[in-house]
Amino acid sequence: MMIKLNITPDQHAWIADAIARGEFATEEEAAQAAFDLGVLQCQLEDGEETEEDIAHLRGLLDEARAQVARGEVFTAEDVKASMAELLARHKK
């Protein structure tokens, strides 16, 4: 099933930056990942987690740990600089 979403300029910039960093191959992949996390968060808040959800979260944690081990992390300064750059682009 295909759903059309309207995203904000900030969301589009985040997706473009994530693709440029190699985190996602396509806009669709980035949007799907964000949507999956949002749905999972809602399920967890509603107490609807399933074994599949828990296994998925474990997989995400394992991948996050592997990224940290490879040095693929962002410092607080990196995030602040990225946010400042995004704000500057959108003020133009």
Could you give the CA distance from residue 18 to residue 26 in angstroms, rounded to a whole number? 9
Residue 79, token pair as written in the block: 């995030």
- Res 80: pLDDT: 84
- Res 49: pLDDT: 65
- Res 48: pLDDT: 62
- Res 23: pLDDT: 84
Burial of 30 (0-12, 13-18, 19+ CB in 10 A): buried
**30 Cβ contact partners less than 8 Å away, ≥ 6 residues apart:** 15, 18, 19, 23, 24
Tell me what the mean pLDDT of segment 18-46 comes to: 82
pLDDT tens by residue, 38-92: 877 777 777 666 778 778 888 888 888 888 888 887 777 887 888 888 888 887 7
- Res 86: pLDDT: 84
- Res 88: pLDDT: 85
